[in-house]
Amino acid sequence: MSESDKSSEDMQIQRAGSTEAIEGPAETFTGNVRIDTMFSAPEPSRVGLAVVNFEPGARTHWHSHPLGQILLVTDGVGWTQCEGGPKTEIRPGDLIWCNCGRRHWHGATDKTAMQHVAIQEAQDGKPVDWFEAVTDDVYLAGPVKKD
């Protein structure tokens, strides 16, 4: 086996701090959001992972994922909502499955910052479809489901 063949089988390690955080773009987020894209696995894999930090009041726009999304809340308190469903509180350790193609949003509460790890797969190179902003009326509407 040649040296190049061996390297294609080796584990890849991406060192902490080796990727640059970006500001969540206003076209897809409301408020102050920082995104640390950790990796997008090389083909044939389709998975990508990011750590997303939301300041109080910050949230995603409505969006969906063709192959779904997993969120793992790691810090703070947030809210998430599928279109037509209740707004639900999310806390550290909570694992959320956002179903394939279902419109939803997630972010911090109006008073507390929140951080989550987001894992999703791309279909035909696209992991997410973005839609309109979540209005303040929708974002602040109650009640909030806490169980």
Residue 107 lies in a domain: yes
Residue 74 lies in a domain: yes
CATH of the domain at 87: 2.60.120.10
Amino acid identity for residue 86 in this structure:
P
Residue 142 lies in a domain: no
Amino acid identity for residue 44 in this structure:
P
Residue 52 lies in a domain: yes
Residue 101 lies in a domain: yes
Residue 86 lies in a domain: yes
Cα–Cα distance for residue pair 71/49, rounded to 1 Å: 10
Q: What's the first-to-final CA gap in the chain, in angstroms?
A: 55
Question: Which are the contacts of 118, defined by CB distance < 8 A and separation ≥ 6?
Answer: 49, 50, 51, 52, 69, 70, 71
| pTM, entire model | 0.86
Residue 136 lies in a domain: no
* The predicted structure's pLDDT at residue 46: 73
Number of domains making up the chain: 1
* The predicted structure's pLDDT at residue 49: 85
Q: Count how many Cα atoms sit within 13 Å of the Cα of residue 17 in the half-sphere of its side chain.
A: 0
Domain that holds residue 72: 20-124
Q: Count how many Cα atoms sit within 13 Å of the Cα of residue 72 in the half-sphere of its side chain.
A: 8
Task: Split the chain (147 residues) into runs of 10 and give each run's mean pLDDT.
Answer: 50 76 93 86 76 97 95 98 95 94 95 96 90 97 88
Residue 103 lies in a domain: yes
